[in-house]
Amino acid sequence: FIAAGTSVPDAISSIIVARQGQGDMAVANSIGSNVFDILLGLGLPWFIASAFVYKEPSIVRTDDLWIGIGFLFGVVIFL
C-alpha cells in the first residue's frame, strides 16, 4: 500500500504535465521519483539496520551479480 501511496500522486502529476505538452517534465518527474524512492527506500533501512541493529558491516555476495546485470540490459535493449 505504501508503494501505491507514493507512486499514484507522481503518476497523476506526470499525466497532468504531459497533457499540458511538457512531456520532458513528465519523464523527469517519473525518473526522479523512482530514483529517490529506490535510494531512500532501500538505502535508509539498510543503513539503519547495519548501523544500529546489527552493528556490523553487511556482506553483499556478488556471485550472481551478472545475472541481474544481464536482465537489466535485456530490458533496456528489448523495451
pLDDT at 59: 81
Instruction: Spell out the per-residue pLDDT of the chain, length 79, in tens.
Output: 566 777 788 889 899 999 999 999 999 988 888 888 888 888 888 888 888 998 877 787 888 889 989 999 999 998 7
pLDDT at 18: 92
Is the pTM for the entire model greater than 0.85? no
- Residue 21, sorted as left (phi over 0), alpha (psi -120 to 50) or beta, turns out to be left
Question: Looking only at Cα atoms, what is the longest distance across the chain?
Answer: 50
pLDDT at 46: 85
Q: Are 14 and 30 in contact (CB under 8 A)?
A: yes
pLDDT at 6: 72
SS3 62: coil
